[in-house]
């Protein structure tokens, strides 16, 4: 199995590479390749898109990699390769983001990226630290997890899905905040699985074992 972790200049690649390599030992992963090379992406058996920072900056950095979008469309759209977006990499699955300016997303899962606005004014934004998951839909990537398991978040904007069926897990932060979205062979986590201890490692292992 060939796993590609896309390096487009935005993301905590070192920690993510270590976590995916660790779980890959149990899932038959021959290599974890950190690259934005379109040929490597098009040939991959599993693809991970990380992302840290502002949505427009991440999208601009992504678009600056010639051939990357086309390679993803080939692998994920046509070949059905399992794909995971992490943090802003998950947000880029949406139709568009509204951070600073309106920026188009990949449009793979319908929805908008909107600012977190807690009903409780004492809650600070960004949403930072550990929070308990609420599982909304059964999904192979969430196997072995339960409502109340916690994950590590760092974000001020959230994915608001247009179809409730694509909301797989959420957290409460002065209102419902999206934690995991997914459809078909695509899944995204707002939290960082590589920083979420055993819960995160379980999600990574589930993703590597996933056969959508």
**pLDDT of residue 12 exceeding 80:** no
> Does the active-site annotation cover 112?
no
Binned at pLDDT 50, 70 and 90, residue 85 comes out as very high
> Is 87 one of the catalytic residues?
yes
Give the pLDDT confidence of 142-157 residue by residue, as tens digits.
Answer: 999 999 999 999 999 9
- Which residue in the block uniquely carries the two structure tokens 């994915």? 159
CA distance 69 to 92: 12
Chain-centroid distance, C-alpha 72: 15
Give me the residues paired with residue 111 across strands.
161
**Which is the catalytic residue, given 58, 87, 139, 155?**
87
Q: Report the 3 state secondary structure along 111-180.
A: EEEEECCCCCCCCCCCEEEEEECEECCCCHHHCCCCECEEEEEEECEEEEECCHHHEEEEEECCCEEEEE
* b/e sequence 132-163, b meaning 16+ C-beta within 10 Å: ebbbbeebebbeebeeebebbbebebbbbbee
Taking only Cα atoms into account, the Rg of the chain, rounded to an integer number of angstroms, comes to 16
Q: pLDDT of 176-202, one tens digit each?
A: 999 999 999 999 999 999 999 999 999
The set of residues, in sequence order, having a beta carbon less than 8 Å from that of 58 and lying 6+ positions away, is 8, 10, 51, 52, 88, 89, 92
pLDDT of residue 61: 95
Active site residue 194: yes
DSSP 8-50: SS-S-HHHHHHHHHHHHTTTT--EEEEE--HHHHHH-SEEEE-
Query: Three-state SS for 2?
Result: strand
Please name the residues in contact with 28: beta carbons below 8 A apart, sequence gap of 6 or more: 1
| Identified catalytic residue from 127, 139, 155, 192 | 192
Q: How far is CA 127 from the centre of its chain?
A: 16
The β-bridge relationship of strands 31-35 and 2-6 is parallel
Residue 102 scores a pLDDT above 80: yes
Catalytic residue among 17, 99, 112, 194: 194
Higher pLDDT, 25 or 96: 96
């Amino acid at each position: 199995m060939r796993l590609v972790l896309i390096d487009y200049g935005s993301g905590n690649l070192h920690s993510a590479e270590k976590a995916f390599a660790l779980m890959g030992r149990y899932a038959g992963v021959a290599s974890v390749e950190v690259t934005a090379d379109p040929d490597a992406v098009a040939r991959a058996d599993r693809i991970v898109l990380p992302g840290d920072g502002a949505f427009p900056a991440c999208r601009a950095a992504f678009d600056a990699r010639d051939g990357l979008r086309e390679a993803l469309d080939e692998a994920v759209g046509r070949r059905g390769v399992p794909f995971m977006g992490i943090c802003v990499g998950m947000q880029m699955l949406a139709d568009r983001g509204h951070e600073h300016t309106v920026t188009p997303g990949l449009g793979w899962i319908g929805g908008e990226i909107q600012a977190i606005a807690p009903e409780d004014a004492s809650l600070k934004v960004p949403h930072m630290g550990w929070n308990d998951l609420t599982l909304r839909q059964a999904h192979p990537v969430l196997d072995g997890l339960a409502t109340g398991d916690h994950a590590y978040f760092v974000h001020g904007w959230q994915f608001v899905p247009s179809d409730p069926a694509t909301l797989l897990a959420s957290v409460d932060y002065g209102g419902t905040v999206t934690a995991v979205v997914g459809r078909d062979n695509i899944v995204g986590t707002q939290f960082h699985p590589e920083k979420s201890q055993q819960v995160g490692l379980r999600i990574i292992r589930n993703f590597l074992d996933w056969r959508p």
